[in-house]
Amino acid sequence: MGLVRYVAAYGGVVDSSRLDDLLDINMDLLPHVVDAAVSLRLLRTEGGNLIITPEGRKAIELSGRDLRALIKSLSDDVRPFKDIFEAIGDSDAISGQLLRNILRRAGYVNIEGAVMIFTEWLAYMGITVLEE
């Protein structure tokens, strides 16, 4: 959600080639963050720019269960979000180990960095990552 909020704060359009200069995020994870936001239709790409969508504008105004409902409705074909929602069901928590396994299956290499980013996304939706 941080990337979506960032694009919104810059008027809804950001030159994607400048993201590494503008954001404080691990460059190995940035393509995954962008892909997730685009796959969830929160952002779209056009002419090298990232542009916030109506769904993205709505998402930054929501939190907790309302945001969770929106993201869940947008994630039917988007892994790892679909897998995370299937794993938690109606719960408000997911184990850290289960989240790591889901991210590993989704092709993430920097698992701990990805866990940090997904923990942030999930926190916006009122979902806690439980560490054993």
75: its two tokens: 């994630």
Calculate mean pLDDT across residues 11-36.
75
Domain region containing 40? 2-57
SS in 3 state form for 70-104? HHHHHCCCCCCHHHHHHHHCCCCEEEHHHHHHHHH
Which of 41, 57, 73 corresponds to the end of one domain?
Answer: 57
Q: Which residues of 49-79 are buried (b: 16+ CB within 10 A; e: fewer)?
A: bbbbbebbeebbebeeeebbebbeebbeebe
Any idea which residue has 């704060």 for tokens? 9
Shared domain check, 24 and 75: no
Strands 43-46 and 93-95: unpaired
Shared domain check, 72 and 27: no
Q: How many domains does the chain have?
A: 2
The SS3 of residue 106 is coil
Calculate mean pLDDT across residues 57-63.
93
Shared domain check, 119 and 96: yes
Shared domain check, 116 and 68: yes
Does 25 have pLDDT greater than 80? no
CATH number for 23: 1.10.10.10
The SS3 of residue 108 is coil
Shared domain check, 81 and 117: yes
* Residue 126: band (very low, low, confident or very high) from pLDDT cuts 50, 70, 90: confident
Shared domain check, 87 and 36: no
